Amino acid sequence: MNSMDKLACIDLEGVLVPELWPAIAVRTGIRDLFATTREIPDYDALMRQRIVLLRQHGVTLSDLQRILKAIKPFNGALAFLQVLEAKGYRVNIISDCFHELADPLLHLLGGPTTLCHRLTVDDEGFVSGCDYYPRKGKEEHVDKALAQGQQVVAVGDAFNDINMLRQASQGFLLNPSISTLSAAPDVRAVESLEEILELIG
C-alpha cells in the first residue's frame, strides 16, 4: 500500500488545539459565547448567534485574532501529525472551525491540508457571516476517500465527529464528554494521541 492509499482525517478543536469559543467567551466576558452545539444543535444558528453577540459587544475579527494569539496547540499535537506522515498517511484536518481564527494554530501544526470554513467580514471589521466548506458532514470526506480505495483513520472528540469516526476504517474518539461517549459506545475511545499511534501500528 503506497502513501496515496492512506488518509488521516483529524478534527482540530479538542483534538489538536483547545476549543476556541470558550477562550473567546472568557477573554471578552460575553457569557453567551460559551453556548455550543449542545445548547444550539444547528451549527449555523449557533454561528449566527455568535455573530450577533460579537457585534453587540463591539468585538471585531481583529479582536478575536488578538485573543486567540494566547492559544497554542496541545503538547504532542505537531509530533502526532508528523508521526502519521512518517507512517505514510496524508493528513487532512476536517474541522468546523474557520480559517480566519485557526490559521495561526494550523501554521504551528506544520500547515496541514485543512478543510474548514471561512468567515466573512463587513466594512467595519465585524464578522458578518459564514462561508461554509461544501460538505454534508465530515463523513462525506471519508466516504469519498473510501470509495477511492483508501484506508482512512479518523480522530475526533465530539458529536459532529461521530459519523466520520463510524465511517472510517479506524475511528477514534479522543477524550469525549460523557454524553458524546454514551452516544457512540461503538466507537473506540482513547485518552491520548500516543494511544492512537500505538493502535494503528
Catalytic residues: 11, 13
CB 96 → Mg ion: shortest distance, Å?
8
Give the binding range for Mg ion (CB under 5 A) out of 8-16, 82-90, 111-119, 125-133: 8-16
Residue with smaller CB distance to Mg ion, 158 or 193: 158
CB 149 → Mg ion: shortest distance, Å?
28
Residue with smaller CB distance to Mg ion, 11 or 139: 11
The site map against Mg ion for 112-151 (x = CB under 5 A) is ----------------------------------------
The site map against Mg ion for 154-183 (x = CB under 5 A) is ---xx-------------------------
Interface with Mg ion, residue 11, by CB under 5 A: yes
Q: How many residues bind Mg ion (CB under 5 A)?
A: 5
- C-alpha cell of 27? 477573554
Give the binding range for Mg ion (CB under 5 A) out of 13-21, 58-66, 122-130, 176-184: 13-21
Interface with Mg ion, residue 96, by CB under 5 A: no
The DSSP line for the chain is --GGGEEEEE--BTTTB--HHHHHHHHHT-GGGG--TTTS--HHHHHHHHHHHHHHTT--HHHHHHHHTT--PPTTHHHHHHHHHHTT-EEEEEEEEEHHHHHHHHHHTT--EEEEEEEEE-TTS-EEEEE--S-SSTHHHHHHHHHTT-EEEEEE-SGGGHHHHHHSSEEEEES--HHHHHH-TTSEEES-HHHHHHHH-
Residue with smaller CB distance to Mg ion, 11 or 100: 11
- C-alpha cell of 89? 498517511
Contact of 146 with 139, CB cutoff 8 Å: no
Name the site residues for Mg ion (rule: CB under 5 A): 11, 13-14, 157-158
